Amino acid sequence: MLTQAIQDYLKAIYKLSEHSSGEGEGGGKLGAVTTNDLARELKVAPASVTNMLKRLSDMHLASYTSYKGVTLSEAGSKAALEIIRHHRLLELYLKEALGYSWDKVHDEAETLEHHISEEFEDRIAAMLGDPSYDPHGDPIPSKNGTVPPTSTTPLAALDTGMNAIVSRVSDANPEFLRYCASVGIVPRVEVQILAKTPSSETLTLRIGSSEAAREHVVGSVVAEQVFIENFTPSST
């Protein structure tokens, strides 16, 4: 049984390695992660990170070389995906079954993810219909470690007149999630770029596809943390 600290490190290494490789989740080879990046992510001293990476290496969960960073082994990646699966299933369960808002599920899941049994995990998954994505649109790894595809294209990359579907929204900041919910920017909603102003770094959006659709202006910070798919030129 891996300790909570080890699970936290494996999860952090996996998520950071995706960014360093330039691939999305499930998109291919993972890159090396530096001790400084891990220290910032986990809010611990670099010396503590180095000690843990040596331990992970001794356990054959990772490969660590001083000044070159760390990569997960096959066993380490499998363990990381399992804890990510726990976390994202719990987020969806908290929202769908217990009525939590999407800005509050992360912290609860962060605590619970280390303590649920495999049977409990299976029961949650079955009750939710074996979902592929969490409330924020992040992919939920399958039981066998397969990661569903997800977009890495930010809303900011679209040009005026283009339509798209919101794929996922960054869950790093609860306040940001509350803002997105308040204007209707959530996974599966359709958006259209009505205007783009590079000088002021703003986008004017039409959010939604029905008569209830509304227009809203968002800044570049928002547009870089909302990811989209199925983008096409507008038919109007």
Output the domain CATH number for residue 41.
1.10.10.10
* Six token digits for residue 155: 């809303």
- Provide the number of structural domains found in the chain: 2
Which residue among 46, 77, 108 closes a domain? 77
Rounded to whole angstroms, how far apart are CA atoms 73 and 79? 10
**List of E strands, the chain:** 62-65, 69-72, 162-169, 190-197, 202-207, 214-219, 226-233
Q: What is the pLDDT of residue 20?
A: 59
Is 145 within a domain?
Answer: no
Q: What is the pLDDT of residue 209?
A: 83
Is 139 within a domain?
Answer: no
Rounded to whole angstroms, how far apart are CA atoms 50 and 46? 6
Burial class (CB in 10 A: 0-12, 13-18, 19+), 213: middle
Is 184 within a domain?
Answer: yes
Rounded to whole angstroms, how far apart are CA atoms 77 and 62? 9
Interstrand relation of 202-207 and 190-197 (parallel, antiparallel or unpaired): antiparallel
Rounded to whole angstroms, how far apart are CA atoms 160 and 195? 5
What is the sign of the dihedral through the CA atoms of 61, 64, 69 and 74?
negative
Is 205 within a domain?
Answer: yes
Q: How big is the CA angle at 230 (ends 226 and 236), to the nearest 5 degrees?
A: 100
Q: What is the pLDDT of residue 21?
A: 53
Q: What is the pLDDT of residue 211?
A: 76
pTM comes to: 0.88
Is 20 within a domain?
Answer: yes
Q: Residue 213 belongs to what domain range?
A: 155-233
Is 194 within a domain?
Answer: yes
Is 98 within a domain?
Answer: no
The widest CA-to-CA distance across the chain, in whole angstroms, is 60
Q: What is the pLDDT of residue 67?
A: 85
Write the CB contacts of 94 (distance below 8 Å, at least 6 apart in sequence).
Answer: 100, 104, 105, 108, 109
Is 199 within a domain?
Answer: yes
Q: What is the mean pLDDT of each run of 10 residues along the chain (236 residues)?
A: 94 86 50 92 94 96 92 96 97 98 96 95 97 97 94 92 95 95 96 89 91 90 94 69
Which residue among 51, 77, 103 closes a domain? 77
Q: Looking at residue 187, which CATH number applies to its domain?
A: 2.30.30.90
Which residue among 57, 77, 97 closes a domain? 77
What is the sign of the dihedral through the CA atoms of 4, 5, 9 and 10?
negative
